[in-house]
C-alpha cells in the first residue's frame, strides 16, 4: 500500500493527490452544511425583521460571497500540488476570470438592491421602479466593460491601445448618435426631476392626454381623442408641461362685458350678486369680482373663483351652473351684455349750388 501511495504521477505522489482530494471533499461538505443550516437560520432571522438590509446581506452572501470563498479555498488546496508551469498559468487565469466575474456581479447586485431599497423607502410606485431597471441596465453594462478591461490588465496585457480605441470609438458613436444621447439624458432629467409620472394627465404645447409610458428615447401619451402621441424626451424637457393630476384645486377667471349705459346701481350690484351666486355652489371658493377695464365698447368685470377639486367634469358642472345663474340675474335686473358694434353718423350733403 505504501509503495502504491508513493508512486509519482505528473510530479506528485498518489498520497498527495489523495490528501488534496480529501480536503476538497471536506470543504465541499462543510459548505453544504453551512448553506443548509447557517444560511437557512439567517434567512429565517432576517424574515422576522422589518428591515430589508439584512435580507439583502444574506442574499448577497449566499449568491456571491460563499461560492467565491469556496472556489478560493479549493484553489489554495490545489496549490499544494506540484503543478507544471502551463497548468499553473491556466489556473491563475481561471481564478482571475472567476474573481472578475463574481466582483462585477456583486457590484451590479449591490447597486440593484441599493436602488430598490431606496425606491421602496420613498414609497415610489411600481412604474418608477420599472424605469429604474432601464437606467440600471446601462450602468451594469458600464460595470461589465470596466471589469473586462481590469481583467485584461491583470492578465498582463497592455490595455493602453484598447482604452484609446474605446475612447475614439466612444467619441465617434456619440457624434453619430447625438440625438439619441440627447433623448437619453432627457430621460434621466424626467426620471430624477419627476415633472410627470405614468397615469398623469398632462398638456404640452398643443397636445393633451394621459401618460402611458416613459421610455429611454420617447414617451407615449394617449390624447383626449384617442390617438397615441409619441413624443421625444428632449422635446418634453424643452417644453412647458402642465400636470393636471397634481392640481390641488382649479382656479377659474372669467370676464363679463356690460354696456356703458348700464345704470350705476346695477354696476354696483353686479359684484354682489355674482359673489352670492358663486358662494352658493358647493366645492367652490369665491375670491373676487371687480370692474377692471373701460374697454372700447364695454365695461369689463373680472371674476376669480376656485374649484376645490381636480375633477374636470365637476369644474364644468359648477361653471355651467354659475353662468346660468348669472344670466338669470342679468335678465331679472335688465342688465345687457355689450356686443361689439360701430356707430355711424349720417349727415346730409348740401344740394348743388346751395351754400354750405
Secondary structure (H, E, C), 209-239: EEEEEECCCEEEEEECCCCEEEEEHHHHHHC
Please give the Cα distance from 94 to 154 (Å, whole number): 12
Nearest alpha carbon to residue 241 among 200, 191, 187: 200
pLDDT computed for residue 299 by the predictor: 94
pLDDT computed for residue 335 by the predictor: 93
- Does residue 273 surpass a pLDDT of 90? yes
pLDDT computed for residue 142 by the predictor: 84
Q: What is the DSSP letter of 185?
A: H
Q: Are 251 and 274 in contact (CB under 8 A)?
A: no
Q: Which helix (H) or strand (E) holds 258?
A: strand 250-258
Strand-pair category, 8-9 with 218-223? unpaired
User: pLDDT tens across 291-300, in order?
Assistant: 999 998 899 9
- Does residue 257 surpass a pLDDT of 90? yes
Confidence of residue 269 (pLDDT cuts 50, 70, 90): very high
Prediction pTM value:
0.52
Strand-pair category, 201-204 with 12-13? unpaired
The CATH code for residues 196-246 is 2.30.30.60
Please give the Cα distance from 26 to 22 (Å, whole number): 6
pLDDT computed for residue 79 by the predictor: 79
Residue spans of the domains in the chain: they are 2-175, 196-246, 250-333
Read off the C-alpha cell for 74: 479549493
pLDDT computed for residue 274 by the predictor: 95
The CATH code for residues 250-333 is 3.30.70.100
Confidence of residue 332 (pLDDT cuts 50, 70, 90): very high
Read off the C-alpha cell for 313: 367634469
Confidence of residue 224 (pLDDT cuts 50, 70, 90): confident
- Name residues whose C-beta falls within 8 Å of residue 98's C-beta, 6 or more positions apart in sequence: 68, 71
pLDDT computed for residue 281 by the predictor: 92
Please give the Cα distance from 229 to 208 (Å, whole number): 9
Q: Are 202 and 244 in contact (CB under 8 A)?
A: yes
Compute the average pLDDT of residues 46-61. 72
- Name residues whose C-beta falls within 8 Å of residue 1's C-beta, 6 or more positions apart in sequence: none
Nearest alpha carbon to residue 4 among 15, 19, 20: 15
Nearest alpha carbon to residue 252 among 298, 293, 286: 286
User: pLDDT tens across 160-211, in order?
Assistant: 765 666 666 666 655 555 666 677 788 888 887 888 888 888 888 878 888 8
Amino acid at each position: 500500500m505504501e509503495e502504491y501511495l508513493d508512486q509519482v504521477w505528473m510530479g506528485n505522489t498518489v498520497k498527495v493527490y489523495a490528501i488534496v482530494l480529501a480536503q476538497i471533499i471536506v470543504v465541499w461538505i462543510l459548505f453544504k452544511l453551512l448553506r443548509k443550516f447557517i444560511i437557512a437560520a439567517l434567512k429565517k432571522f432576517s424574515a422576522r425583521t422589518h428591515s430589508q438590509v439584512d435580507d439583502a446581506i444574506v442574499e448577497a452572501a449566499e449568491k456571491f460571497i460563499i461560492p467565491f470563498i469556496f472556489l478560493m479555498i479549493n484553489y489554495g488546496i490545489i496549490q499544494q500540488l506540484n503543478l507544471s508551469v502551463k497548468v499553473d498559468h491556466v489556473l491563475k487565469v481561471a481564478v482571475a476570470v472567476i474573481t472578475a466575474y463574481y466582483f462585477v456581479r456583486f457590484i451590479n447586485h449591490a447597486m440593484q438592491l441599493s436602488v430598490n431599497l431606496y425606491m421602496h423607502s420613498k414609497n415610489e410606485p411600481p412604474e418608477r421602479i420599472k424605469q429604474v431597471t432601464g437606467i440600471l441596465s446601462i450602468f451594469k453594462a458600464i460595470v461589465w466593460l470596466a471589469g473586462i478591461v481590469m481583467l485584461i490588465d491583470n492578465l498582463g496585457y497592455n490595455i493602453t491601445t484598447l482604452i484609446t480605441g474605446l475612447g475614439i470609438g466612444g467619441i465617434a458613436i456619440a457624434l453619430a448618435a447625438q440625438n439619441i444621447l440627447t433623448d437619453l439624458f432627457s430621460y434621466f432629467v424626467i426620471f430624477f426631476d419627476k415633472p410627470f409620472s405614468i397615469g398623469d394627465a398632462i398638456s404640452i404645447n398643443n397636445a393633451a392626454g394621459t401618460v402611458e409610458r416613459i421610455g429611454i428615447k420617447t414617451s407615449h401619451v394617449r390624447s383626449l381623442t384617442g390617438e397615441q402621441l409619441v413624443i421625444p424626451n428632449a422635446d418634453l424637457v424643452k417644453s412647458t408641461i402642465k400636470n393636471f393630476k397634481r392640481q390641488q384645486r382649479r382656479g377659474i377667471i372669467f370676464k363679463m362685458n356690460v354696456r356703458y349705459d348700464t345704470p350705476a346701481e346695477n354696476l354696483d350690484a353686479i359684484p354682489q350678486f355674482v359673489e352670492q351666486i358663486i358662494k352658493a355652489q358647493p366645492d367652490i371658493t369665491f375670491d373676487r369680482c371687480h370692474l377692471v377695464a373701460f374697454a372700447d365698447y364695454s365695461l369689463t368685470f373680472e371674476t376669480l373663483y376656485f374649484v376645490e377639486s381636480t375633477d374636470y367634469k365637476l369644474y364644468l358642472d359648477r361653471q355651467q351652473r354659475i353662468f346660468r345663474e348669472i344670466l338669470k340675474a342679468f335678465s331679472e335686473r335688465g342688465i345687457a351684455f355689450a356686443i361689439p358694434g360701430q356707430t355711424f353718423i349720417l349727415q346730409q350733403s348740401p344740394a348743388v349750388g346751395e351754400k354750405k
